[in-house]
Amino acid sequence: MERVGLIPNPTKDKAIQIAKEVITWLKDHNIDYLVKNESAELVGALTKTASCREMIDKVDLVIVFGGDGTFLNTARDFFDVEMPILGVNLGNLGFLTDIQLEELETALEKLLLGDFEIEERMMIEAEVIRDGEIIKNFVAINDIVITKGAFSRLIKLETYIDGEYLTTYPADGVIIACPTGSTAYSLSAGGPIVNPNLKSLILTPICPHTLHARSIVTSAAEDIEIVVVSEHEDVVLTVDGQEGFELASADRIMVRGSELVTELIKLENYHFYKVLRTRLRRKDF
């Protein structure tokens, strides 16, 4: 570990303070670092500033200080390169940023010794097809969501899996998540929790106006196609809750597993089910 990228959430004072402490630790251990430009001035590192794209090929790994949203934003910046990411949890849940503050010094020591593993998480990709042409492509780490706008009526979403018609959901929308995203919006909508090491897609309707709608788990090798059936134009596709795109009636959205992966740094004591137990605060989970 010769150089580390540091990416603190610039809107969180705690993230800036912890980043400063990590910089001191790195200096004491003769390890170089770069700080994401939006936060460099806040941590006093104007001579060590870089964008995420500039960090590619310049750092060995990156450390993110914030919540899962900060982690997702960072991972999306590195979506097309192999960049190990360690998340330090300063948010509410922390399914992606699983290092707690009290574990941080131990985590840094393990990084220095190379005592960690890289866990590859599958991603999903989507394309929007309008009038027979692909007009937009997306890559997501958690989910692709198709939903009605804030004041619009119920929408209908024709749903196909590998070309086979499944059903038409009269609903507020649908969520297509990968296993990593199964503990995000999909879980809140009643979807299942899926081990992130599996290769699958989770299709979950949002507030379906029907008695029989259930989440469906498919193979990552299968394509999910959603056709928008709506008389109004207030329908939106969102990517990881961070990027939006307006859809039109008759748009077709194709979602499939991606060949790209997100690389998460996992320390020796990491267990997915332990994270579930502690984050969801269920003693009997």
Per-residue model confidence as pLDDT tens digits over 52-90: 999 999 999 999 999 888 999 999 999 899 899 999 988
* Pick from 216, 226, 222: nearest CA to 160: 226
Query: Taking the alpha carbons of 213, 250, 218, 122 in that order, is the dihedral positive or negative?
Result: negative
Do 232 and 176 share a structural domain?
yes
Q: Is residue 189 part of a domain?
A: yes
Q: Determine contact, residues 186/201, Cβ cutoff 8 Å.
A: no
Query: Of 97 and 223, which is predicted with more confidence?
Result: 223
Burial of 103 (0-12, 13-18, 19+ CB in 10 A): middle
Do 164 and 97 share a structural domain?
no
Question: Which are the contacts of 113, defined by CB distance < 8 A and separation ≥ 6?
Answer: none
Query: Whose structure tokens read 């590998």?
Result: 162
Q: Is residue 285 part of a domain?
A: no
Do 233 and 112 share a structural domain?
no
CATH code for the domain of 50: 3.40.50.10330
Q: For the whole model, what pTM was predicted? A: 0.90
Q: What's the whole-number mean pLDDT along residues 216-232?
A: 93
Of 28, 32, 57, 68, the active-site residue reads 68
Per-residue model confidence as pLDDT tens digits over 172-212: 999 999 999 999 999 999 999 999 999 999 999 999 998 88
pLDDT of residue 276: 81
* pLDDT greater than 90 at residue 253: yes
* pLDDT greater than 70 at residue 284: no
pLDDT of residue 285: 40
Mean pLDDT of the chain: 91
Do 74 and 149 share a structural domain?
no
* pLDDT greater than 80 at residue 20: yes
Q: What's the whole-number mean pLDDT along residues 31-39?
A: 95
What's the pLDDT band for 159 if we cut at 50, 70, 90?
Answer: very high
Do 181 and 62 share a structural domain?
no
The residue segments making up the domain with residue 216 are 123-260
pLDDT of residue 283: 46
> Is 68 among the catalytic positions?
yes
Q: How many angstroms separate the first and last alpha carbons of the chain?
A: 37
pLDDT of residue 247: 95
pLDDT of residue 281: 67
Do 240 and 141 share a structural domain?
yes
Q: What's the whole-number mean pLDDT along residues 271-285?
A: 69
* pLDDT greater than 90 at residue 101: no
Do 95 and 162 share a structural domain?
no
How many structural domains does the chain have? Answer: 2
Q: Is residue 284 part of a domain?
A: no
Q: Is residue 242 part of a domain?
A: yes
Query: Of 32 and 271, which is predicted with more confidence?
Result: 32
